[in-house]
């Protein structure tokens, strides 16, 4: 009897131990489910939580931004994107700054929409040296590198025309003046003192048969591009870039915007003595011009890596006809 009683006790204890063990498992599972449920509730509240961002009450134009120009913009925390400025950051990141582009009212401000100094339109007008002038020059992208130039790009421009009968007679008599000396050397040196662009050789005025070819502009710098209405394309682009992507895409489908972004001419900084050669060539009715792209400044490389296809590049994909290059 004693042995049988001990066996029963062991069975009972074993069952109790299994029951306690199972109960422990259930408690652990229940605790885990409770924690998971609480965590989901917290996450759900965080997802629905609103935060205050900075927006403008009205368009401020090109002036300093003050406290009275600002209004809080509520947005779900989950929808806040990198670069958006919180309302609590407005004093250090917004007040006292200037718009970097046209900013619509009541949209969240990003840090890259603002700048510390006031933006000057057509800044190049204030930076010309005493021997420099601005020249508008007709442009055909299909005949000049195939890519839209940017401010800071440089071109070399040659002109040619067919000699008139009178000039041919003067040439035969040895009385037609041909210049063979390049008076202006336009070597371009980079910041490290290395030669970036070498000035063209001296033989820049050549007569071959009845065609005269001449170097018109050795090195000229692009500062802007103009559309057929004479408006700055880069200013149009800045206004477009201030819009959200969906509005940009909608605008780009409008014929008026395509026309406004289609380059018709380059605005170039040229040397004053080179303008005289250009005017001389323009007096010939059959003058044509060849534009070649020179080495791009390395300071522009970082922007090239960032922007990829520009708005202008996208427009040109849909534009198959432009005016021929050169002022013919």
Q: Quick one: how far is CA 309 from the chain centroid?
A: 9
Q: Which helix (H) or strand (E) holds 155?
A: strand 154-162
Q: Quick one: how far is CA 278 from the chain centroid?
A: 31
3-state helix, strand, coil in the chain (%, to 5): 40, 25, 35
The predicted structure's pLDDT at residue 328: 38
Token digits of residue 216: 């018109």
Residue with tokens 């885990």: 32
The predicted structure's pLDDT at residue 41: 66
DSSP symbols for 254-295: SHHHHHHHS--EEEEEEEHHHHHHHHHHHTSTT-EEEEEE-P
Q: Write the DSSP symbol of residue 86.
A: B
The predicted structure's pLDDT at residue 304: 53
Token digits of residue 290: 């060849």
What's the angle, vertex CA 223, arms to CA 61 and CA 229, rounded to 5? Answer: 70
How far, in Å, CA of 162 to CA of 288, rounded? 10
pLDDT in 10s for each residue of the chain, 328 residues: 554 455 555 555 555 566 666 676 777 777 778 787 776 666 666 566 889 999 999 888 778 999 999 999 998 888 888 899 999 999 999 999 998 877 888 889 999 889 888 877 777 788 888 888 999 988 877 766 555 677 788 888 888 888 888 878 877 777 676 665 455 566 665 666 666 566 665 545 677 788 888 888 888 888 888 888 888 888 887 777 767 677 778 888 888 888 888 888 889 988 887 888 888 888 887 888 888 888 776 665 555 545 445 555 555 555 544 443 444 3
The predicted structure's pLDDT at residue 203: 46
The predicted structure's pLDDT at residue 204: 57
Q: How many other C-beta atoms are found inside a 10 Å radius of the C-beta of residue 118?
A: 11
Contact present, 267 and 227 (Cβ < 8 Å):
no
The predicted structure's pLDDT at residue 192: 66
Instruction: Specify burial of residue 215 (Cβ count, 10 A radius: 0-12, 13-18, 19+).
Output: buried
Contact present, 219 and 204 (Cβ < 8 Å):
no
How far, in Å, CA of 289 to CA of 158, rounded? 6
The predicted structure's pLDDT at residue 55: 94
The predicted structure's pLDDT at residue 67: 93
The predicted structure's pLDDT at residue 261: 81
How far, in Å, CA of 180 to CA of 231, rounded? 38
The predicted structure's pLDDT at residue 322: 41
How far, in Å, CA of 52 to CA of 36, rounded? 29
Architecture of 50-115 per CATH? Answer: Alpha-Beta Complex (3.90)
- Which is nearest to 289 in space by CA: 143, 183, 187? 143
DSSP symbols for 187-220: -EE-TTS-EEEPPPPS--EEEETTEEEEEEEEEE
Question: 233-241 and 245-252 helices cross at what angle (nearest 10)?
Answer: 140
The predicted structure's pLDDT at residue 94: 94
């Amino acid at each position: 009897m004693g042995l049988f009683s001990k066996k029963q006790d062991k069975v009972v204890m074993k069952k109790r131990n299994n029951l306690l063990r199972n109960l422990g498992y259930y408690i652990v599972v229940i605790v885990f489910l409770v924690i998971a449920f609480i965590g989901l509730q917290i996450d759900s509240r965080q997802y629905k939580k609103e935060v205050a961002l900075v927006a403008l009450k009205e368009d401020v134009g090109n002036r300093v931004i003050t406290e009275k120009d600002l209004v809080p913009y509520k947005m779900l925390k989950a929808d806040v994107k990198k670069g958006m400025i919180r309302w609590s950051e407005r004093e250090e990141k917004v007040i006292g700054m200037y718009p970097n582009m046209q900013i619509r009212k009541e949209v969240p401000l990003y840090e890259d929409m603002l700048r510390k100094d006031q933006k000057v339109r057509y800044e190049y007008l204030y930076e010309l040296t005493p021997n420099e002038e601005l020249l508008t020059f007709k442009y055909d992208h299909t005949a000049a590198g195939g890519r839209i130039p940017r401010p800071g790009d440089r071109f070399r421009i040659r002109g040619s025309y067919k000699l008139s009968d009178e000039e041919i007679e003067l040439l035969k008599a040895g009385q037609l003046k041909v210049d063979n000396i390049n008076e202006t050397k336009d070597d371009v040196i980079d910041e490290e003192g290395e030669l970036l662009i070498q000035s063209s050789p001296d033989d820049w005025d050549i007569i071959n048969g009845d065609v005269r070819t001449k170097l018109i502009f050795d090195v000229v710098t692009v500062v802007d591009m103009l559309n057929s209405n004479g408006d700055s394309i880069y200013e149009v682009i800045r206004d477009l870039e201030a819009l959200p992507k969906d509005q940009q895409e909608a605008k780009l489908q409008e014929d008026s915007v395509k026309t406004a972004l289609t380059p018709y001419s380059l605005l170039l900084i040229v040397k004053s003595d080179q303008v005289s050669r250009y005017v001389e060539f323009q007096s010939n009715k059959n003058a044509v011009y060849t534009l070649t792209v020179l080495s791009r400044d390395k300071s522009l490389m970082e922007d090239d890596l960032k922007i990829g296809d520009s708005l202008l590049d996208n427009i040109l994909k849909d534009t198959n006809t432009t005016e021929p290059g050169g002022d013919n």
